[in-house]
Amino acid sequence: MPTVHSAASLLTFATALLDAAGMEHDKSVVIAEVLVEADLMGHDTHGLNLLGPYLADIGKGTLATHGEPRVVADFPAAITWDGSRLPGTWLVRRAIDVAVERARTYGTCTVSIGRSHHIACLAAYLKAVTDQGLVILLMTSAPENQSVAPHGGRAGVITPDPIAAGWPTTGDPVLIDVSMSITTNGMVGRLAKEGGRLPGKWLVDGAGVPTDDPNVMSQEPKGALLPIGGVEYGHKGYALGLMVEALTQGLPGHGRADPIEGWTGEVFLQVLDPALFAGREAFIRQTGWVADHCRDTPPRPGVERVRTPGEAGLRRRERALKDGVALHAAIMPQLATWADKLGVPLPPAHTA
């Protein structure tokens, strides 16, 4: 049986590690909450798996531990921040609070953030917004990373460029978190360490040949991730990736055209309040109809039933809150090293 930890004990542990590394306490709490939320939903490459690298960046001075974002522009429904290398998780949560408040007055509010540190799992931010009857759009890119090949190319130029969105329905909210590449750098890196292979030819090697070997990303010439659609239909993921790059880097005015400062998360965030459009009831009537009819669609052979995006993650979250979080086997040993270094006790564990 797998070993599990309570969500509360993981929150306490992650917060203590960040505090001990020098992070301002209010920021430590938010970072821990976002990372644990990702693991609750099953996004285990973008949850506590990221805490070790974050702690390393604190030590290198490339992740700021104290301070506030610099306001570049501030209009009623459009705000731009220079993130000042502060934790991306904390910046996004703060931006959501501002955007929610203003969207209730203006119908919508957009926050763009440049020079943020990495923002972790996008899905981890959505439910808190949809629970308020609001709509959220969230995108991010990492200008220091060039791992995704443009359609037809064999060398990386852009990043996986994830897009997340969430909105309420008559039942579960729809929660979307998808990268514009077939797979992520986190998954490729994990499989390379474990000696595994990808489920399909989701990469190209340095010669441009499609492959399932994650090691091509560390060889010379380096391979690249393929955009959604792969070799044949990758123009779709490529095009959407370029859109993410424009919104996350163009609007805040910081990105690939600037010097590399370290691990980065450029951000586009938008919150909309349906109450100030046709009304919340009208919105839910439409989104509920579509969600219900998707779920009621007869499944094809081999599929138990049709789900809406985010449904499986919400069920995982419910089970994990009740029974405990089963972390990926590689995560706690990595964090145990940091715990020993920083003098933080490990969280209690029990058998599921």
Phi, psi (degrees; rounded to nearest 5) at 21: -80, -10
If we measure between CA atoms, which residue out of 314, 352, 338 comes closest to residue 4? 352
Pair of tokens at residue 171: 């039942």
Q: Is 273 exposed, middle or buried (0-12, 13-18, 19+ CB in 10 A)?
A: buried
Q: List the structure tokens of 95.
A: 């931006």
Contact 166, 136 (CB under 8 A): yes
Predicted local confidence at residue 193, as pLDDT: 93
What is the pTM (predicted TM-score) of this model? 0.96
How sure is the predictor about 171, in pLDDT bands with cuts at 50, 70 and 90? very high
Q: Is the pLDDT of residue 2 over 80?
A: no
Helices (H), the chain: 7-21, 25-40, 51-60, 88-106, 127-130, 185-194, 230-233, 235-245, 280-295, 311-323, 331-342
In the predicted structure, residue 122 carries a pLDDT above the cut 70: yes
Could you report the per-residue pLDDT of 226-260, keeping only the tens digit for each? 999 999 999 999 999 999 999 999 999 999 999 99
- Can you read off the two tokens belonging to residue 196? 């595994």
Residues 6 or more apart in contact with residue 74 via CB below 8 angstroms: 80
d(C-alpha 216, C-alpha 222), whole Å: 6
What average pLDDT is seen over the chain? 97
- Would you say residue 352 has pLDDT above 80? no
pLDDT bucket at 146, cuts 50 / 70 / 90: very high
Cβ within 8 Å of residue 157, ≥6 positions away: 146, 148, 149, 150
Band (pLDDT 50/70/90 cuts) for residue 1 is low
The residue among 152, 150, 223, 161 whose CA lies nearest residue 192 is: 223
For residue 8, the SS3 value is helix
158-161 LR contacts (CB < 8 Å, sep 24+): 158/241, 158/242, 158/245, 159/185, 159/241, 159/245, 160/184, 160/185, 160/225, 160/241, 161/240, 161/241, 161/244, 161/245, 161/248
Q: What are phi and psi of 178, to 5 degrees?
A: -135, 140
Question: Which residue matches tokens 């991730």?
Answer: 225
What pLDDT was estimated at residue 183? 95
- 115 pLDDT tier (thresholds 50, 70, 90): very high
Q: Which residues pair with 266 in a beta bridge?
A: 141
Domains in the chain, please, with CATH? 3-146+159-179+236-281+311-351 (3.30.1370.60)
Please write the tens of the pLDDT for every residue from 177-195. Answer: 999 999 999 999 999 999 9
Cβ neighbours for 205, distance < 8 A, ≥ 6 positions apart:
154, 211, 213, 216, 219, 223
94's tokens: 């703060």
Tokens 């203590």 belong to which residue?
A: 16
Tell me the pLDDT band of 3, cut-offs 50, 70 and 90: confident
Q: Chain-centre distance of CA 202, in angstroms?
A: 20
SS3 181: strand
**Strand order of the sheet with strand 70-75?**
70-75, 78-82, 108-114, 266-272, 135-141, 163-167, 174-178
**Region 326-347 average pLDDT:** 96
Closest to 268 (Cα-Cα) out of 145, 88, 148, 32: 88
The predicted model gives 131-143 an average pLDDT of: 98
Q: Structure tokens of 100?
A: 């929610």
**DSSP per position, 66-127:** S--PEEEEEETTEEEEE-TT--HHHHHHHHHHHHHHHHHHHSEEEEEEES------GGGGTH
pLDDT at 265 over 70: yes
Counting residues of the chain whose pLDDT is more than 90, the rounded percentage is: 98
